[in-house]
Structure 1
Amino acid sequence: MTSNSIKNFLDERKFNRFHLGVLLWGLFIISFEGYDLVVYGSVVPLLTKEWALTPVQAGVIGSYGLFGMMFGSIILSLLADRFGRKSIIIVSVAFFSIFTTLSGFAREPHLFSWCRFLAGVGFGGALPSVISLITEYIPKSSKNKSITMALCGNQVGGILAPLIGVIVFASLGWRPALWFAIVPLFVIPVMIKTLPESPQFLIRKGKLDVLDATLRKIDPDYKNQLIVEQTSLMEPPVERTPIIGLFKNKLGVSTILFCIVYFMGLLMIYGLNTWLPKLMQSAGYPLISSLGFAIFLNGGALVGTIIIGVIADRKGSKKLVTGLYVLGAICLALLGIKSNIFFLYLLIAIAGVCTMGNQSLLNAFVSQYYPDQVRSTGVGLANGVGRLGGMLGPTLGGILLSQNVSVGLCFLVFALPGVCAAIALLFVKKNNDKYESILSINKNSNVN
């Protein structure tokens, strides 16, 4: 039983109940991560009024969570590649649930900001590990679709946050919207019992009994279907320091380019999620209507993400991701032009697909680009560096609003990073999958 034979076995399976369970866990975790992250954009109009915050101060507070995400994405992803995805996922869920809930009890901005930072550590740790776990277990024919469907949780959370706001703001204020984040804590015991651990991690740690029990859930006759390599030299080397592996074997340039793409993409996403309701208020729409625009932004991303995930499994990811960034930039630029309400909602929905939906597809692309032993680290590093762009987005929006910049120019500023992301993706080299080469060698050897 080797890591390559297990990988090939998992890639070639048909999607079944076990895979559905992994996918639903991923969707649940990402949904509440998305809720806890986006809920700040829903409460910020009320926070600025209650605590007399300037737009710049509100933007900086919004960036605290993203600053925490940067630490979580890089540090916890390194730990996940060394100590297992499952434990890091559980710790991350506990972090963002506890500290988002506690932020609802804060009476002043300083404590609120610290809670957002610590919750952000959990946000950053959960996403790369969930993506890596799904990438390892889901069959190859369904990887893009499954990863993007799980990452639709960002949009589920993004829709749920303003909906909860519409329900509770008028009668109960903004705090209950944050207290809702406690829900995942109650399901952690079930998660501990049912969420599988990374198969590659189990092999490295010699926990073959646990791996055997897990693989039997996928196929009771799995041992007879493993392709066993003819030499142990075909096993990929395990990096003692996984981050170094991101710059070996001609991966270095692509790693840097991915960091640039994530920086630009997350600047667009978190800038919009934080300031879209406020920008629409500034354009003359009431708060409830402005929350409706946020629902359309995330709703468009939710529907579109599923569609583009299916297309990516059939046609490939890179060109699709690149084109969507360009289309998103065009839609954001057009939002600054006065138009009828139907066209406005349509542009916002498409922008949601091309920003948040496209980010989900980008995560699927990057997670399959890197080999197993550095996958969480690769996704985590790109997400971590990308959080710098995510931090810049809310702060940049606050600066623009404080300077009384027109709404049209604000949207144009948030559109330009999409063009930069598309240009960076054009220079990402095609990945030479070592595992496919190994499989090809084995097949040729069997023929001969």
Structure 2
Amino acid sequence: MTTKAERPQQRKINAAEVMAASKFNKFHLLVFLWCLYAIAFDGFDIAMYGVGLPLMMEDFGLSIVEAGAVGSYTLIGMMVGAFVFGPLADIVGRKKVLAICMLLFSVFSLFAGLAPTITIFTIMRFIAALGMGGLMPNVISLMTEYSPKKNRALIVASMYCGYSVGGILASLIGMYIMEELGWRFLYWLGIIPLFTLPIFLKKFPESLSYYILRKQGDQLAKILNLVNPKGNYKETDDFEYASAKESAKGFQGKKLFSNNRAVSTFAFWIMVFSCLLMIYGLNTWLPKIMQQSGYGLTSSLSFSLVLGIGQIVGSLLGGYLVDRIGHRKVLISLYLLGAICFVALSMTSNSLLLYVLIAIGGACTGGTQNLANPYISEFYPKEMRSTGVGVAVGVGRIGAIIAPLVIGLLLSTSLEPQSAFMTFAIPSILGCIALLCVQERHGSFDRLNIYNNGEIALTSMTDKKAF
């Protein structure tokens, strides 16, 4: 008979540490591609409104102020979606919530494209926006959780380039197809995610924290063996179920302000508010601003294309730099460069210089937000990352909501259209100030320690012994 002392001790495994210390492989690529695919429709969604706006205004007989209001009503839906689906994902699972979000976007984008009146169009857009609002915090949290720590900032920023890719596709369709097929065609394309949803549900994994809280050791072992085959993980291993269950207790929203996180939480809200105000203001009104400045429809849409390219370059270059010098230095530089860029945009009429400045503006708005997302996500413990990012994005959506309306009001005045660019310098400076208020020492950031023998271990920044 085997005595208690002779029984093999159950091995304790920290799944987050295994994932963070892993090397990028096919499994990571699978998660990356699905997240990129999902977020591309977020970028396509907001860009298609701006791209189709000139023709839609003619079709529905809208004034500039009315068109800005419709854009703002839609963004209220995104704010509600972020508040609802971000925290919900920490309870029922991020995969399920992502599926719901893609379903809402697909079906109601199609309905918006079929809407006979502006009222029905706005209602359909609002419901579709609920899905888009819940999409962002969940793909950020999942990609952060499933990325190796060494290149996490670059991987998450690269994934979020899907947002810009979606915007670029909307611009290209607008430039070459929209005049023949009409603005509604852009919204009909929104049905595409519905057809890929069954494949997504079959292939995409749930979050590690979801599996841990439900003690699904078979799923955890399967995933960890994919990222580190040498680990030989088994479903009988103890994946620190007890500590995870203890950490998950209580209302996650309240935890945003506990353990000295309050100041940083408010700072994140202001940072996201500033970025989304700039992003949605530019995506909605850039074609119209350039059209009123004397450019034709196709030429004005080309500026949106350059904006998207700038967002991608800013995200990739910024992610590369973040992994080497840290988030804070890169983000401060982007905020300050953005302020200078927007002042310059309001003062020049040279076409070539305008294209260059628009590209820089894209890097300093979309690129900045893409880098801020993993920064915010990593600040909070893994069991509440969707809540942390979701609430930050939800509050930040206020900036997205007021942007179309504020810029629309400016364009309706006697001011030169390009003067509207000056407005974006203010949130650039505000975001920089907020960033300086973030107290990193109270965050749950991890850092890798690589020893001489090649072994890798993680220490939390909240562990004072590590410093």
The answer to whether the 8 Å contact 1:4/1:435 transfers is: no
Decide which of 171, 176, 192 is 1:167's aligned counterpart: 176
Aligned-residue offset at 1:439 = 5.1
Task: Find 2:324's aligned residue among 314, 330, 333.
Answer: 314
- TM-score normalised per structure 1: 0.94
Q: Which residue of 1 aligns with 2:284?
A: 274
1:138 and 2:147 are equivalent in the alignment: yes
**Structure 2 partner of 1:53:** 62
Which residue of 31, 42, 45 corresponds with 1:36?
A: 45
Distance 1:232 1:81, change over 3 A: closer
Q: Is 2:205 aligned against 1:196?
A: yes
Q: Which amino acid aligns with 2:273?
A: F
Q: 2: distance between equivalents of 1:249 and 1:3? A: 27
* Contact kept in structure 2, 1:2 and 1:235, CA below 8 Å: no
**In structure 1, what residue type is equivalent to 2:231?**
Y
Calculate the TM-score normalised by the size of structure 2: 0.90
Alignment partner of 1:391 is 2:401 = yes
Q: 2:428 aligns with which of 415, 418, 426?
A: 418
Change in Cα spacing, 1:252 to 1:154, as seen in structure 2 (3 Å) is same
Q: Retained in 2: the 8 A contact 1:3–1:235? A: no
1:243 to 253, 257, 264: 253
Specify the SS of the correspondent of 1:152: helix
For residues 220 and 238 of structure 2, the distance between their equivalents in structure 1, rounded to whole angstroms, comes to: 16
Structure-2 residue corresponding to 1:328? 338
User: What's the CA shift for 1:232?
Assistant: 5.9
Deviations 1:312-371 (A, max 9, x none): 111111121122011112111111113321111000000000001111001011111111
2 CA distance for matches of 1:342 and 1:358?
Answer: 24
Taking a change above 3 Å as real, the CA distance of residues 53 and 250 of structure 1, as seen in their structure-2 partners, is same
Deviations 1:131-182 (A, max 9, x none): 1111111110121111101100110011010111122222111111111111
User: How much does 1:225 deviate?
Assistant: 11
How far is the alpha carbon of 1:214 from its aligned partner? 2.2
Partner residue, 1:85: 94
Report the CA distance shift for 1:390/1:233 in structure 2 as closer, same or farther (over 3 A).
Answer: closer
What is the distance in 1 between the residues matched to 2:212 and 2:446?
A: 20
1:255 aligns with 2:265: yes
**In proportion to residue count, which structure has more helix?**
1
C-alpha separation in 2, matches of 1:408 and 1:176: 29
From the superposition, tell whether residues 408 and 435 of structure 1 become closer, same or farther in structure 2 (CA, over 3 Å). Answer: closer
Question: For each residue in 1:73-116, what CA deviation from the matched residue of structure 2 results, as whole angstroms up to 9, or x when unmatched?
Answer: 11101110111110011111111121112111011110111111
Which segments of 5 or more consecutive residues in structure 2 lack a partner in the other structure?
Answer: 1-9, 448-456
Q: In 2, Cα distance between the equivalents of 1:145 and 1:88?
A: 25
- Matched with 2:159 is 150
Q: Tell which structure's C-alpha radius of gyration is larger.
A: 2
Aligned match of 1:7: 16
Distance 1:236 1:141, change over 3 A: farther
8 Å CA contact 1:74, 1:381 repeated in 2: yes
Shift of 1:64: 2.0
- Over 3 Å counting, the alpha-carbon distance change for 1:230 and 1:342 in structure 2 is closer
> Is the 1:363–1:379 contact (alpha carbons within 8 Å) kept by the matching residues of 2?
yes
For 2:4, the equivalent position in structure 1 comes to: none
% identity of equivalent residues: 41
Evaluate the alpha carbon distance shift between residue 353 and residue 296 of structure 1 in structure 2; reply closer, same or farther with a 3 A threshold.
same
Letter in 1 for 2:318: I
Residues 249-289 of structure 1: CA deviation (Å, up to 9, x unaligned): 11111111111111111111101110011011111111110
Q: What residue is the counterpart of 1:347 in the other structure?
A: 357
In the superposition, relative to structure 1, how do residues 234 and 93 fare at CA in structure 2: closer, same or farther (>3 Å)? closer
| Amino acid corresponding to residue 211 of structure 1 in structure 2 | L
Q: Are the aligned partners of 2:380 and 2:444 in contact in 1 as well (CA < 8 Å)?
A: no
Select which of 102, 117, 135 maps to 1:126: 135
Deviation at 1:407, TM superposition (A): 2.2
Q: Determine if contact 1:2/1:203 at 8 Å carries over to the other structure.
A: no
CA distance in 2, matches of 1:48, 1:265: 27
The answer to whether 1:110 aligns with 2:107 is no
Q: Secondary structure at the match of 1:331?
A: helix
Which stretch of the first structure deviates more once superposed, 120-129 or 215-224?
215-224
Is 1:205 equivalent to 2:204 in the alignment?
A: no
Shift of 1:221: 3.5
Equivalent AA in structure 2 for residue 397 of structure 1: I
Q: Which runs of 5 or more residues in structure 1 are unaligned?
A: none
Counterpart for residue 70 of structure 1: 79
Residue in 1 that maps onto 2:383:
373
Which stretch has the larger CA shift, 160-169 or 70-79?
Answer: 160-169
